Structure 1
């Protein structure tokens, strides 16, 4: 199984939703970098369950315990090991799934691929594992901040309720001021109402997280098989429930003429830049120094508190009653996960980069 992410900066995670703990090892981290454990915990708190009425009420403190790799507040250059204990499992809520497959979950394909599965909360395929990615990403974000690289994400859509397309009109930090993590307070309240209504009906709804990377140097990524854009897309599709990724103007740009879509070059004080940024900061798979921005689409949570037709291991038709504690919409808690995966990708490419421009600038 593929439990390791990255090339030079490698994150390996372990654990299941209802096991004793989850955790990981982040290897390849440079030595001598100041590391604030409280900042790592803050990102975990943004992801943890039970933080508001809009998300699953599973109560987990999600306290990270650093086992190695950080000493006296500095990275040592050795593998950073960490664990997060599972504290509030209700495995009995999943006993009805031992022989039955939930629609649109990994249950059926997992059973067919491995012949055996942990049906409690989805086991290894549970989104509980993403807490480990948030730890790795929070470390990467602190390293990137040394080079004036900043990564922020926010909820830009829940169902049909959307923010305006241009992220630049917002102070993205304001997204942390409301339950849904949307920087537009008026739209945020509409999103909150929609999620609450959806939850009351025992249903779920999808949405979109927008991520912005500021301060990326020119030259990250390769022109063919290790494009920065492809790495970001792959990282985002590795997050549970992700169904879509679009960079820059995305699919809307595909409907326009080249004369409208092309990013025209200009120069000012010997610095080359583009007048527009439809490319989303990446051209030919390589960062161009402009803001990198992209959208990540999340499907509605597959578990709903309604009856659904399904099948069991014997190939018989069954009717499943939705049980357990689940998010009616994942996007508010997905924001720090998207940031984390973007940080891991960017730092990995940063460490891979050998061009004179990047060495000179950074």
Structure 2
């Protein structure tokens, strides 16, 4: 299987399956001498882990990370950083009845067509379980970025949504909501919706907004390696993501240039930020603001018609432990992928500046 590595200079390679012994990663080209805050890494992993509330998958994983290499006496050595996260609470028997059936909107069918074989237990490699590795790596490399604050939050679940980007948000404020929406009245409405959907055995999609403060001007490369293109690729690599927009996004299509242009002030900042902090593919020093849209979780607790490997129509009786909506747990995943992109460009810029 190809495409298990992300990044240009700073790279993350992930391995493992949903119901294997463990998942893990190898993070390479992290500079030597970086003092690691291990608790900060575990805290981010805990924000993603299952079993943290009644509105997410009840799979009970502690997700305790173990570092195998690349760190000595609390500091990076400059060698590859290897780590694993055990899969402790596996219930593979839940998937025995569907091993020959293709779950609608899952990767079952496409994996079978591409490889001629698949691990049906929880989706195997296609499972969102793999994203715990990304969160761990992102939380580590975030510590490379001086004065940069990455904050994602739930801005929409179903038709319930917040207004524009909430520039006041912090992670501590976001975590005051079980649903990770910083607007209390909307958070409650979202929780009520998820409660109803859980009872019905259905799921719903949502949107995560991300605001990055403190990014200096000059990160990113022109033409094919634009910063917003890299962010879009990173977000679209996350399970269940169907859309990405930055700054004014699709709203820009209905605006005039006279209202969309970001007018400069004498200090180099701009009055508005329709560009979302990136112009010409390079950061301009303003807040980087983008949105990520997630589809409804494909596994629902309702009978669905589908086909099996022989092309026969069958009825799928879904089992397993799944979220009615993925976005609350996806907040730290969005932050992690953002950190991986920015850290990669940060190191590339340092090399170019030194030359």
Into which bin does the TM-score normalised by the smaller protein fall?
over 0.9
Structure 2 equivalent of residue 52 of structure 1: 53
- The total of aligned residue pairs comes to 354
CA–CA distance in 1 between the matches of 2:135 and 2:270? Answer: 33
SS at match of 1:13: strand
Structure 2 equivalent of residue 100 of structure 1: 101
Aligned counterparts, 1:125-144, within 5 A: 125-144=126-145
CA–CA distance in 2 between the matches of 1:354 and 1:56? Answer: 41
Structure 1 equivalent of residue 257 of structure 2: 258
CA–CA distance in 2 between the matches of 1:136 and 1:40? Answer: 8
Aligned counterparts, 1:40-79, within 5 A: 40-79=41-80
Moved more, 131-140 or 68-77: 68-77
- Could you give the per-residue CA deviations for residues 209-257 of structure 1, whole angstroms, max 9, x where no partner exists? 1111111111111110100000000000000000000001111122111
Check conservation: 1:110, 1:116, Cα contact below 8 A: yes
User: How many Å apart are 1:154 and its aligned residue?
Assistant: 0.5
Structure 1 equivalent of residue 321 of structure 2: 325
Residue 16 in 1 paired to residue 14 in 2? no
1:170 and 1:339, CA in 2 relative to 1: closer, same or farther beyond 3 A? closer
CA–CA distance in 1 between the matches of 2:224 and 2:170? Answer: 35
User: How many Å apart are 1:166 and its aligned residue?
Assistant: 2.9
Structure 2 equivalent of residue 352 of structure 1: 348
Name structure 1 gaps, 5 residues minimum.
none
SS at match of 1:84: strand
Structure 1 equivalent of residue 272 of structure 2: 276
SS at match of 1:246: strand
TM-score, normalised by the number of residues in structure 1: 0.96
Check conservation: 2:36, 2:140, Cα contact below 8 A: yes
Structure 2 equivalent of residue 159 of structure 1: 158
Aligned counterparts, 1:1-362, within 5 A: 1-144=2-145, 147-171=146-170, 173-267=172-266, 271-353=267-349
CA–CA distance in 1 between the matches of 2:144 and 2:54? Answer: 33
Pairwise CA RMSD of aligned residues? 1.3
- Could you give the per-residue CA deviations for residues 179-233 of structure 1, whole angstroms, max 9, x where no partner exists? 1011111111111111111111100000001111111111111110100000000
CA–CA distance in 2 between the matches of 1:198 and 1:321? Answer: 17
SS at match of 1:340: helix
1:171 and 1:3, CA in 2 relative to 1: closer, same or farther beyond 3 A? closer
Name structure 2 gaps, 5 residues minimum.
none
Question: Which 4+ residue blocks in structure 1 deviate beyond 2 angstroms?
Answer: 169-173
User: How many Å apart are 1:172 and its aligned residue?
Assistant: 5.2
TM-score, normalised by the number of residues in structure 2: 0.97
Check conservation: 1:241, 1:299, Cα contact below 8 A: yes
